[in-house]
Amino acid sequence: MVDLVSLYSGSVPALYDHYRGPVFFEPYARDLVGRLQHVAQGSVLEVAAGTGIVTRILAALLPPEVTIVASDLSPAMLDFAMAQSGVERVAWRQADALALPFPDSAFDAVLCQFGAMFFQDKVAGYREAFRVLNPSGRFVFNVWGRIEENEFCCVVNDAVGRLFPGDPPELMARTAYGYYDTAKIAQEISVAGFGAVSVQTVERLSHAPSAHDLAIGFCQGSPLRSEIEARAATRLAEATEAATEALLARFGSGPIVGKMRAHVITATKE
């Protein structure tokens, strides 16, 4: 069982947003929000909103007639998200995606960026999205492709793994980048009750200002941090340096660029 509240607490939200947000999440956030341009009024729910990277884009791009509700399980992530500028119109709720505290048919769209991989029960999470959508509502979410298809993460994961050869961290490959079987995802969405389901693979380039910045983001501002500290809390700096050296060897110094791949799933209730 992954304890998401513990994973995303302390200094992690700020590091996550600063070092990882622009590199990994903003490019896909804009893609995801662009799929809701048909929503001109009504209400939109964001599940697993994290530090509000998608939320801020929703608030900037959706018409003022649209009500935006953003939810997350982690109080620390929500506190950080609420403190950012540009989200004054957003209503915030701490909520478990598997037991949403909203009435049936309350929303015109439900959005989730890179959160479904962490649902302990995927179908239960999808059923909750189905329940809170109105009859013509749309559920849009994305998941990462294989770790090997996401270059920065693969290099860092391998580098940190070499520090703990007898017990390499597996959370990133197993969970964050482990839910990539699109046929299985489509089947689970259908089991949850959704009608038409479409899957699109979206490739982007991730731009990081330096190898060291990227290593900080992964080793100190992601779930990888908890796995490093569980093995040796005193080796966090060493792991960050090992990740930096591996990224430098692969991508060079200065600003670096890596390939990313994700799958975007769109499901309609009818």
Rg (CA), the chain: 18
What DSSP element (H or E) covers 157?
Answer: helix 151-163
Per-residue pLDDT of the chain (270 residues; tens, 9 = 90+): 557 677 777 889 999 999 999 999 999 999 999 999 889 999 999 999 999 999 999 999 999 999 999 999 999 999 999 999 999 999 999 999 999 999 999 999 999 999 999 999 999 999 999 999 999 999 999 999 999 999 999 999 999 999 999 999 998 999 999 999 999 999 999 999 999 999 999 999 999 999 999 999 999 999 899 999 999 999 999 999 999 999 999 999 999 999 999 999 999 997
The tokens of 48 are what? 């697993």
**Which of 8, 196, 43 is closest to 133 using CA atoms?**
43
DSSP string, 33-92: HHTTTT--SEEEEEES-TTSHHHHHHHHHS-TTEEEEEEES-HHHHHHHHTSTT-TTEEE
CB 41 within 8 A of CB 257: no
Does domain 4-268 fall into CATH 3.40.50.620? Answer: no
